[in-house]
Chain A
């Protein structure tokens, strides 16, 4: 292991041992009470199916013409059918058919559908275009009709039934497999497999298929329930299995015919069908939750983020939108500083008001953070202190760099300043004075007035901060209208001016464009323009240049410097890159494991006289080993 000491601590913290992956899913599954009940019912059905000969009081095929169509009695708990066969026994034996058909049909459907979906999704292009139309056509045929056709050709029996139901379902799996494969196909690991020379078939089945497993399992669970319903329906119609074979649908069919004579007969099979189908659906949902199918797929995540942002942007103006995006991002990404595990109720953290420094803030400082402690309460680990007594002030028009690695607490610090701590995280001590007013403990409504007008934020991923469904012009006009009483044409004029100012070319046309039409650097400029719209006194830039290449990073930093010079705006620049500090910051603060270990008076001082060992290690990380000389044949 050659990772540095500091790198190593992070690596260990952010990774989890894998063997627990499977057990983790099971544990999460067992934490859902509804799933537990469903699993218990399913267990009952499985036990019936396996131990039917021992559990059933009578032979399910034994006719007793002395006792036909009876109601419940001590001899026959659930009564008898028109041939005097015991209903309870037939229901217990019927579990065999139900499970065989349920699982069998889904397996058949997956065997047909998944390879089709994989092929279409992976090949793409014309194969996909033609193939998908074919899938559409097949899917448009009424399922029951397909089943009729298959059974009328092959005759009644288990195998034709499985094939019939399997054919009804297979296109569903094909579509799903195709959609996921298309998303996976463009991922780098597929390119890497190509470069290794792997065969296409091996890439599809060995590399891509495992990534489809979780969503397919979830879908399979739900489809199993549906298969049981269809089997029941077909048996009810009399084209399922031979009528002598005990099946729940068959029982129901007989019961329907004899409804006038013995109405009770329909109830037992009806109840078991409903319960079993419901159980499969509940288990499917539970699996979905436990496997985190939705969470694993980034495109779904970003959509969710975008939705939140879109909402926030409309309600509170884009500054809040940007903030919501970052919030959602931090909450969902595994490397984000903190997130509250689902289903865990945490007590709100209230500031301990004793010995809070109430001295008025210095006029020259736009922000004064005094002895700030931020805590995170979790049921598993108790109270964790994320920020341990940080004090930092920012003068008007000053750019202060806050450096630290991921997990050091620097983003938590920034969120506290913005009043955007995630649920379960709160300021336990200290104060945050913005323009002399303490922000800690303010209500969301009070904070809203501050955000946007006095303080604005720019985050790492501009694409998440901008709403994908609104034009840039719309998103720019929101804060302008919220903060200034100006006419529509003035809003447009100002928007153009702002875009011009941040270096977006041809702003008149660009106003009508959507975020996806911008490159990363340009989108970040737009995000800055939106943050600027309300003329904030303090801008919090949280890793705002980290996702950009060095050229674009330099341009965005230059822009921030220019804006500072022009508007006298102060900037809290949060970064992990010492280069950013060297290029843009007046002063710097270093955060390590929740503590501000070093605050310097100038950026140069941090480089020339680092005090703390962590700062020194950050600086030495920048030094490169001299390259060995080599002779290249030339």
Chain B
């Protein structure tokens, strides 16, 4: 597998210039909390703005409940935002109407958190790939089977895996199938929603490497949603940090790490499990200080 950018892709990237592939502007998402007497709207995401360039990986981090996955689902058109705009390659995604055009479905793909849940337990693994191909009118049955086999090769699976059911695959293999499903449509953006969280550590590494290699080959962009800042940093060019539905920081990955602007980012950094016990008392002290500041209301919301 290649580890460097091939020239045509690099050229294409340069040609694309500074035009973002995806622009999310002032995105707000609310849900209705119903009770018997009244219904009120609660914002789970408020005024989130960021963009993704072609070939870029943007990491979206936050703890559970911060609204990061909700943003991803809005981009995938799995739920409807209450305000703001999402524009993909110049088209207004939110104005597309009830039915999502197939071209958008082809361009924007997803890899979800728990591969054992995101694959249909009653279908062989290859079906995930072939049914997507079929819907998008690619090839006849034999051709689709060939493409499926090729894609499986591509993501590090063998042909023997094609006819297996998800329950017969390990977590890492399942996630590879999910990646194959996303990849086969040659998307331009893949939303990876906690794509590594359900995997063990060594498998995480393999999947990260696979994602990085695939990006180098195809030049697609990733929105990489996760709670572990350390992993997100490893794969991201820029990182957006979310807290309580708001974006508190959005900057180059290195800068978020070396010079975090928001106290919450510093806290997230302190929460990342370390590689070595040394310095753990200091990290604990940082976390305790944040908790104290938070309790006293000293942490700014944005």
Contacts and interface: CB of A to CB of B under 8 A. Distances in A.
A488 interface: no
Interface stretch (A7-15, A87-95, A108-116): A7-15
A196 B271 contact: no
A550 B229 contact: yes
Contacts of A192: 110, 112, 118-119, 128, 178, 181
- Most chain B beta-carbon neighbours within 10 Å: one of A4, A617, A627: A627
A627 B205 CA distance: 11
A67 B216 CA distance: 92
A421 B126 CA distance: 40
A551 B62 CA distance: 9
A362 interface: no
A33 interface: no
Contacts of A334: 167
B11 to A, nearest CB: 10
Contacts of B278: 604
Contact of A552 (B64, B120, B122, B277): B64
A627 B120 contact: no
A382 interface: no
B118 A632 contact: no
Contact of B201 (A188, A622, A633): A622
Contacts of B164: 18
Contacts of B54: 632-633
Interface size of B as a range? 35 or more
A579 interface: yes
Contacts of A581: 277
A363 B210 CA distance: 53
Nearest to B283: A583
A189 B170 contact: no
A305 to B, nearest CB: 19
Contacts of B102: 197
Interface stretch (B14-22, B85-93, B140-148): B14-22
- Most chain A beta-carbon neighbours within 10 Å: one of B65, B185, B273, B276: B273
Nearest to A5: B202
A10 B206 contact: no
Contacts of B212: 627-628
A551 B277 contact: no
Given A579-B274, A621-B205, A7 B170 contact: yes
A21 B163 CA distance: 14
Interface in B183-226: 185, 197, 200-203, 205-206, 208-209, 212, 215-216
B273 A630 contact: no
B245 interface: no
B132 A607 contact: no
Contacts of A624: 205, 208, 234
Contacts of A630: 5, 55, 215-216, 237
B110 A10 contact: no
A10 B170 contact: yes
A14 B174 CA distance: 14
Contacts of A18: 164-165, 167-168
A343 interface: no
Contacts of A550: 63, 227-229, 268, 271-273
B274 A554 contact: no
Interface in A187-213: 187-189, 191-199, 202, 206-207, 210-211, 213
Contacts of A21: 165
A582 B275 contact: yes
Contacts of A11: 169-170, 172-173
A195 B205 contact: no
A621 B202 contact: yes
B185 to A, nearest CB: 7
B76 A631 contact: no
A598 interface: no
A582 B277 contact: yes
A197 B118 contact: no
B274 A558 contact: no
A572 interface: no
Contacts of B267: 551
Given A197-B135, A633-B17, A210 B170 contact: no
Contacts of B119: 189, 192
B299 interface: no
A213 B120 CA distance: 13
A609 to B, nearest CB: 12
Given A197-B135, A197-B136, A520-B64, A211 B120 contact: yes
B120 A3 contact: no
Given A188-B112, A198-B132, A554-B287, A213 B275 contact: no
Nearest to A604: B277
Interface in A166-220: 187-189, 191-199, 202, 206-207, 210-211, 213
B276 A604 contact: yes
Nearest to B279: A582
B105 A195 contact: yes
Given A11-B170, A196-B131, A549-B227, A583 B273 contact: yes
B18 A633 contact: yes
A628 to B, nearest CB: 4
Contact of B56 (A6, A14, A578, A632): A632
A323 interface: no
Contacts of A199: 135
A580 interface: yes
Nearest to A4: B202
Contacts of B203: 3, 7
Nearest to B202: A621
B148 to A, nearest CB: 13
Contacts of A618: 201
B64 A519 contact: yes
B168 A202 contact: no
A134 B294 CA distance: 52
Given A551-B271, A632-B237, A198 B277 contact: no
A539 to B, nearest CB: 19
Nearest to B228: A550
Contact of B280 (A189, A555, A583, A632): A583
A211 B121 contact: yes
Contacts of B154: none
A551 B200 contact: no
A577 B278 CA distance: 17
A634 B113 CA distance: 30
B78 interface: yes
Contacts of A15: 167-170
A142 interface: no
A622 to B, nearest CB: 6
B158 A1 contact: yes
Interface string B1-44: 00111000010011111100000000000000000000000000
Given A582-B273, A583-B274, A607-B277, A631 B117 contact: no
Given A583-B280, A628-B212, A196 B135 contact: yes
B60 interface: no
Contacts of B202: 3-4, 6-7, 617, 621
B226 to A, nearest CB: 9
B287 A558 contact: yes
A621 B201 CA distance: 6
A104 to B, nearest CB: 27
Interface in A1-36: 1-4, 6-8, 10-11, 14-18, 21
Q: Which 3 A-B pairs have the closest CB atoms?
A: A579-B273, A197-B105, A11-B170
Given A16-B168, A196-B181, 6 more contacts: A14-B170, A15-B168, A191-B110, A207-B120, A631-B10, A633-B55
Interface of B: 3-5, 10, 13-18, 53-56, 63-65, 73, 76, 78, 100, 102, 105-106, 108-110, 112-114, 117-123, 128, 131-132, 135-136, 156, 158, 164-165, 167-170, 172-173, 178, 181-182, 185, 197, 200-203, 205-206, 208-209, 212, 215-216, 227-229, 234-235, 237, 267-268, 270-278, 280, 283-284, 287-288, 291
10 contacts: A16-B167, A189-B120, A192-B118, A196-B181, A549-B227, A550-B272, A552-B63, A604-B278, A628-B4, A633-B54
